[in-house]
């Protein structure tokens, strides 16, 4: 039965008129322009799907030559914008085309496209996925909800997908958790967060896009709290519980956070928004998740950062090696504010001090404030969300990893996007400025045969093959020691270095680049370097950069070939260290214990299956390097539908 009293305490308004008080409700308005836009959008998607051979999953047949019989193999690609017109960030990949120019599609065949599907990263069986939503641990199961288009491999028609796991690695797909069936979420059941109440019950707040494209906040809860799978969800009859406040535009009010308790016993949430070009996080208090009070101030604001999406707010311990419940506060705690910037589609975070009394947060280092400083990940990674895992006393981070090939190729293969391997997240006590991200320990259960290489000498300008068999599914841990004499003798320079503008691994310096070539073929015509570059300034100080070069990752023309990376702090006495997870078309790389992380999507045409190889390389001009590695072949995770006879329980 539906639990009609899921909250503490129950509001006296729970059974009242669903339009409710004017400050918390807004009735739909029939604006002709909005209706016309919706009709045009529906017509566009219908035409798009019809052109895709009438298939609901985007697959097409091969012709007699083995290439895909699709318009994309014969015509120019025409990048299409998806999302901004209805009030969310850009969801289509348009980066590979300069100035949105048209490009010829690469003639992908089924063998190439089949290889791209990952083996141990979470993804639906087919179609489009984006933001992680409402992750939690409940009655022995990890729950993962996500933005999902059940109709196509492009963004649109967004509902909530749902999967469960016992270990965050092997997943079972469940029926859709919430669909767009009410006026307040008819144009999309968008991102939201879960809160577990003291009695163990769950509430979910999420953003809905109304029939008039107004962003409102809605409440949902499990139909049966005794069901560990949380299959059925009920939307509160009085939705929406929040509408944009005065001064906030209708399309600038989204993505409520997990709630935390104040010392007064109230629940507090924050919601992303903007005023002109200043990104802000609004703060609300509530006693029942139905009625809300908007605080006079804001949690934080940073001029010039634009719309803040998917805001996250959570505590980290300055002293302990474990995660903290979202409500924890005190002198041994720092707080993290993270925002996904609509303008550039990157996730930025900063560490600072939270003042509960007035609901504000101040960064420890204003120079690396939210949106202008540190990022979770310097590659493809967006809309990240954490949750406190009370099962293992850790905070776990999820992040959406989009595609960087063409939309046409995604439609051919029938799916788009994956989720990152869940990461634990801790305060870096050594730097005091960074967070440490690391793959959850459960990923190690997939390790198979291992290979060890100790003190491998890699001379300047050389490449060393590593015989580990097919290099498509790997877990790599490596350390590098640079020749001390070269470090001391190298002359400093005033020239500044940047991974993105450096020219990649072909540009040689005295002390780098050096690292690994993953997903490379024997001839190195395709390769993805994951590497360090050390720059010595005129003052003699060393700066270390961690980079990922996609410029030669594929011979295909319709894929993104950016160079990613950033500075990584390397403290006195530390060796250069990295961990790389290779899983077909995704490469997740962690430097210095997770201080700097880079995620890439890679689409080789030759370095696939048994032809994918792994190499050490050192393209420095002066320094030799000694490398020690341990490498595991990785098994595939079981990600499949939940048995049908269980779905009705």
- Give the integer Cα–Cα distance in Å for 382 and 424: 17
Residues of the chain with CATH 2.115.10.20: 110-115+129-439
Of the residues 131, 369, 410, 558, only one is catalytic, namely: 131
Name the residue among 422, 425, 380, 427 with its Cα closest to residue 398: 422
- Give the integer Cα–Cα distance in Å for 262 and 370: 23
Residues of the chain with CATH 2.60.120.560: 447-634
Report strand pairing: 171-178 vs 639-641: parallel
| Other beta carbons within 10 Å of 22 | 9
- Give the integer Cα–Cα distance in Å for 616 and 621: 16
Torsion of CA 599, 605, 608, 610, to 10 degrees: -160
Q: What is the pLDDT of residues 111-124, one digit of tens each?
A: 999 999 999 999 99
Return the H-helix or E-strand segment holding 210: none
Mean pLDDT for the chain overall: 88
Number of H helices, E strands in the chain: 5, 39
User: Could you say which DSSP state residue 225 is in?
Assistant: T
Token pair belonging to 151: 């109709």
Asked if pLDDT for residue 171 goes beyond 90, the answer is yes
Count CA atoms within 13 Å of residue 211 on its CB side: 11
Banded model confidence at residue 312, pLDDT cuts 50, 70, 90: very high
Name the residue among 605, 599, 610 with its Cα closest to residue 121: 599
105-to-67, 109, 413, 502, 584 alpha-carbon distances in Å: 12, 12, 14, 28, 21
Pick the CATH number of 110-115+129-439 from 3.80.10.10, 2.115.10.20, 2.60.120.480, 2.30.40.10: 2.115.10.20
Q: What is the pLDDT of residues 191-234, one digit of tens each?
A: 999 999 999 999 999 999 999 999 999 999 999 999 999 999 99
Token pair belonging to 570: 């390397």
Q: What is the pLDDT of residues 355-394, one digit of tens each?
A: 999 999 999 999 999 999 999 999 999 999 999 999 999 9
Chain-centre distance for alpha carbon 20: 36
SS3 (DSSP) at 220? strand
- Give the integer Cα–Cα distance in Å for 153 and 101: 22
User: Quick one: pLDDT at residue 78?
Assistant: 63
Q: Kindly state the percentage of the chain with pLDDT values over 70.
A: 85
Token pair belonging to 309: 């999406």
347-to-185, 341, 342, 485 alpha-carbon distances in Å: 25, 6, 9, 39
DSSP bridge pairs for 625: 458, 482
Give residues with Cβ within 8 angstroms of 645, minimum separation 6: none
| Other beta carbons within 10 Å of 123 | 20
Token pair belonging to 556: 């295909």
For the residues 492-498, what does the mean pLDDT come to? 83
- Give the integer Cα–Cα distance in Å for 649 and 646: 5
- Give the integer Cα–Cα distance in Å for 403 and 410: 8
User: Quick one: pLDDT at residue 623?
Assistant: 93
For the residues 311-325, what does the mean pLDDT come to? 97
SS3 content of the chain, % helix, strand, coil (to 5): 10, 40, 50
Pick the CATH number of 447-634 from 3.40.50.1010, 3.40.50.1580, 3.20.20.100, 2.60.120.560: 2.60.120.560
Give residues with Cβ within 8 angstroms of 202, minimum separation 6: 6, 136, 138, 194, 195, 196, 221, 222, 225, 230
DSSP bridge pairs for 447: 634
User: Could you say which DSSP state residue 610 is in?
Assistant: G
SS3 (DSSP) at 504? helix
Asked if pLDDT for residue 188 goes beyond 60, the answer is yes
Asked if pLDDT for residue 10 goes beyond 80, the answer is no
Name the residue among 355, 363, 359, 305 with its Cα closest to residue 336: 363
For the residues 596-614, what does the mean pLDDT come to? 98
Q: What is the pLDDT of residues 405-422, one digit of tens each?
A: 999 999 999 999 999 999
Count CA atoms within 13 Å of residue 515 on its CB side: 31
Phi, psi of 351 (to 5 degrees): -110, 135
- Give the integer Cα–Cα distance in Å for 486 and 114: 45
Asked if pLDDT for residue 91 goes beyond 80, the answer is no
Banded model confidence at residue 336, pLDDT cuts 50, 70, 90: very high
Token pair belonging to 87: 């009030």
Active site residue 131: yes
- pTM value? 0.87
- Give the integer Cα–Cα distance in Å for 173 and 144: 10
For the residues 292-316, what does the mean pLDDT come to? 97
User: Quick one: pLDDT at residue 81?
Assistant: 79
Tokens 């045969």 correspond to what residue?
A: 449
Question: Who has greater pLDDT, 7 or 606?
Answer: 606
CB 341 within 8 A of CB 308: yes
Tell me whether residue 286 is exposed, middle or buried, using C-beta atoms within 10 angstroms of its C-beta: 0 to 12, 13 to 18, 19 or more.
Answer: buried
Helix extents (H) in 400-483: 407-413
Q: What is the pLDDT of residues 259-280, one digit of tens each?
A: 999 999 999 999 999 999 999 9
């Amino acid at each position: 039965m539906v639990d009609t009293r899921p909250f503490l305490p129950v509001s006296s308004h729970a059974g009242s008129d669903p339009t409710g008080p004017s400050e918390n409700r807004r009735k739909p308005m029939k604006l002709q322009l909005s209706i016309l836009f919706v009709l045009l959008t529906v017509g566009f998607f219908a035409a798009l799907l019809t052109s895709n051979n009438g298939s609901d999953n985007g697959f097409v047949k091969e012709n007699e030559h083995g290439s895909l019989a699709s318009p994309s193999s014969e015509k120019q690609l025409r990048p299409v914008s998806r999302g901004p017109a209805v009030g969310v960030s850009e969801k289509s990949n348009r980066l590979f085309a300069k100035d949105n120019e048209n490009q010829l599609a690469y003639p992908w065949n089924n063998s190439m496209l089949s290889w791209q599907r990952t083996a141990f990263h979470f993804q639906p069986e087919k179609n489009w996925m984006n933001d992680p939503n409402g992750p939690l641990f409940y009655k022995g199961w990890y729950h993962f909800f996500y933005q999902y288009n059940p109709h196509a491999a492009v963004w649109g028609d967004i509902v909530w997908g749902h999967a469960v796991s016992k270990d965050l690695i092997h997943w079972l797909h469940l029926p859709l958790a919430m669909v767009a069936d009410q006026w307040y979420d008819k144009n999309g059941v968008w991102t939201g967060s879960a809160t577990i109440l003291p009695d163990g019950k769950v509430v979910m707040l999420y953003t809905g896009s109304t029939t008039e494209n107004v962003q409102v906040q809605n409440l949902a809860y499990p139909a049966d709290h005794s069901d560990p799978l949380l299959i059925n969800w009920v939307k509160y009859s009085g939705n929406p519980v929040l509408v944009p406040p005065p001064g906030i535009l209708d399309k600038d009010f989204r993505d409520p956070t997990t709630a935390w308790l104040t010392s007064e016993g109230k629940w507090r949430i924050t919601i992303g928004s903007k005023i002109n070009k200043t990104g802000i996080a609004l703060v609300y208090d509530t006693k029942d998740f139905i009625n809300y009070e908007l605080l006079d101030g804001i949690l934080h604001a940073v001029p010039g950062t634009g719309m803040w999406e998917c805001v996250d707010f959570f505590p980290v311990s300055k002293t302990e090696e474990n995660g903290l419940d979202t409500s924890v506060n005190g002198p041994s705690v720092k707080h993290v504010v993270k925002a996904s910037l609509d303008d550039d589609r990157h996730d930025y975070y900063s560490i600072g001090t939270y003042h509960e009394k007035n609901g504000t947060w101040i960064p420890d280092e204003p120079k690396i404030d939210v949106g202008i400083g540190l990022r979770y990940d310097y590659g493809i990674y967006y809309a990240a969300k954490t949750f406190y895992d009370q099962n293992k006393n850790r905070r776990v981070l999820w992040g959406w990893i989009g595609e960087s090939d063409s939309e046409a190729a995604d439609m051919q293969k029938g799916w788009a996007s994956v989720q990152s391997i869940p990461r634990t997240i801790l305060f870096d006590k050594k730097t005091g400025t960074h967070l440490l991200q690391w793959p959850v320990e459960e990923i190690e259960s997939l390790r198979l045969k291992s290979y060890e290489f100790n003190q491998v000498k890699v001379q300047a300008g050389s490449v060393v093959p590593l015989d580990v068999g097919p290099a498509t599914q790997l877990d790599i841990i490596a350390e590098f020691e640079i020749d001390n004499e070269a470090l001391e003798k190298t002359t400093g320079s005033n020239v500044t270095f940047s991974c993105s503008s450096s020219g990649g691994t072909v540009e040689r310096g005295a002390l780098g680049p050096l690292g690994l070539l993953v997903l490379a073929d024997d001839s190195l015509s395709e390769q993805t370097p994951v590497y360090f570059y050390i720059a010595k300034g005129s003052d003699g100080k060393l700066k270390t950069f961690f980079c990922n070069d996609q410029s030669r990752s594929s011979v295909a023309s319709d894929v993104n070939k950016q160079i990613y990376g950033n500075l990584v702090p390397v403290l006195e006495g530390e060796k250069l260290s990295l961990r790389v997870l290779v899983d077909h078309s995704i490469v997740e790389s962690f430097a210095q214990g997770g201080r700097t992380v880079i995620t890439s999507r890679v689409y080789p045409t030759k370095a696939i299956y048994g032809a994918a190889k792994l190499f050490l390389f050192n393209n420095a001009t002066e320094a030799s390097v000694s490398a020690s590695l341990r490498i595991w072949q990785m098994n595939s995770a079981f990600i499949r539908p939940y048995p049908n006879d269980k779905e009705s329980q």
